[in-house]
Structure 1
Amino acid sequence: MDLNSFLQSLQAWTVSFFEQLVPEYILPNLQLIIQIIIILLVGYIVGKLAKVVVTKILSVAGLKRITAKTWTEEVLRVTGYKGNIVDFIGDLIKWSIYIVTLAVVVQVLGFASVANIFNQIIIFIPKIIVAILIVVVGFIIADFFGKVFEEGMGKIFRDEILSKFSGGIVKYSIAMIALIIALSMIGLDVNALLILFTALLLIIVIVTCIGLKDLVPNFTAGIHVRGMLRVGDRIKFRNYSGIVERINPYSVDLRVNRKTVTIPNSILIKEPFEKEVKK
Structure 2
Amino acid sequence: MSFNTTFDLQAITSDISVFFANFTPNYIIPNLKLITQILLMLLFAYIVGRIGKAITVKILSMIGLKKSNVKSMTDNTLKAIGYGGSVVDLIGDLVKWFIYLIFLGVIIETLGLPQLFIVFNTVAFFIPRVIGAILIIVIGFIVADFMGGAFGEAAKKFFQDEFLASVAGGLIKYSIAMIVIIMGLAIIGIETMALLILFAFMLLASTIIFTLGMKDMFPNFTAGVHLKRVLKIGEHVKIGEYSGIVENIGAVSVTLDSNGKKVNIPNAILVNNPIERKNKK
**Normalising by the residue count of structure 2, what TM-score does the alignment of the two structures yield?**
0.89
Where 1:235 maps in the other structure, the secondary structure is strand
| From 208, 217, 224, the counterpart of 2:226 | 224
One-letter code aligned to 2:133: A
One-letter code aligned to 2:166: K
CA distance in 1, matches of 2:197, 2:204: 10
**Which blocks of at least 5 consecutive residues in structure 1 are unaligned?**
none
Distance 1:90 1:155, change over 3 A: same
Once the two structures are overlaid, the 10-residue window that deviates more, 226-235 or 129-138, is 226-235
| Match in the other structure for 1:195 | 197
One-letter code aligned to 2:168: S
Where 2:108 maps in the other structure, the secondary structure is helix
| From 93, 99, 105, the counterpart of 1:103 | 105
CA distance in 2, matches of 1:147, 1:30: 63
CA distance in 2, matches of 1:40, 1:182: 32
Given that 2:94 and 2:127 are in contact with CA atoms closer than 8 Å, whether structure 1 keeps it comes out as no
Where 2:274 maps in the other structure, the secondary structure is coil
Cα distance, 1:231 vs structure 2: 3.4
Measured against aligned partners, the alpha-carbon deviations of 1:13-71 in whole angstroms (never above 9, x if no partner) come to: 66643442222111211121111111111111100111111111111221111111221
One-letter code aligned to 1:57: I
One-letter code aligned to 2:123: I
Cα distance, 1:92 vs structure 2: 1.1
Measured against aligned partners, the alpha-carbon deviations of 1:95-118 in whole angstroms (never above 9, x if no partner) come to: 111122211111111122322211
| Match in the other structure for 1:161 | 163
One-letter code aligned to 1:67: N
CA distance in 2, matches of 1:240, 1:151: 30
Where 1:68 maps in the other structure, the secondary structure is coil
| From 126, 134, 138, the counterpart of 2:136 | 134
RMSD of aligned Cα (Å): 2.6
For the pair 1:275 / 2:277, whether they are aligned, the reply is yes
Distance 1:224 1:6, change over 3 A: same
For the pair 1:73 / 2:78, whether they are aligned, the reply is no
| Match in the other structure for 2:245 | 243
| Match in the other structure for 2:85 | 83
Measured against aligned partners, the alpha-carbon deviations of 1:188-225 in whole angstroms (never above 9, x if no partner) come to: 11101100100110111111111111222212211221
CA distance in 2, matches of 1:135, 1:155: 30
For the pair 1:56 / 2:58, whether they are aligned, the reply is yes
Measured against aligned partners, the alpha-carbon deviations of 1:230-250 in whole angstroms (never above 9, x if no partner) come to: 233222322444433443321
CA distance in 1, matches of 2:255, 2:17: 98
Identity %: 47
Aligned length: 279
| From 20, 23, 36, the counterpart of 1:21 | 23
| Match in the other structure for 2:124 | 122
Where 1:28 maps in the other structure, the secondary structure is coil
Cα distance, 1:11 vs structure 2: 8.3
Where 1:189 maps in the other structure, the secondary structure is coil
One-letter code aligned to 1:268: L
Cα distance, 1:128 vs structure 2: 1.1
Given that 2:160 and 2:252 are in contact with CA atoms closer than 8 Å, whether structure 1 keeps it comes out as no
One-letter code aligned to 2:33: Q
Once the two structures are overlaid, the 10-residue window that deviates more, 259-268 or 202-211, is 259-268
Once the two structures are overlaid, the 10-residue window that deviates more, 123-132 or 195-204, is 123-132
Alignment map for 1:257-272 (pairs within 5 Å): 261-272=263-274
| Match in the other structure for 2:152 | 150
Distance 1:59 1:257, change over 3 A: closer
CA distance in 1, matches of 2:13, 2:196: 68
Cα distance, 1:91 vs structure 2: 1.0
One-letter code aligned to 1:134: I
One-letter code aligned to 1:202: L
| From 172, 179, 184, the counterpart of 1:182 | 184
| Match in the other structure for 1:34 | 36
**Normalising by the residue count of structure 1, what TM-score does the alignment of the two structures yield?**
0.89
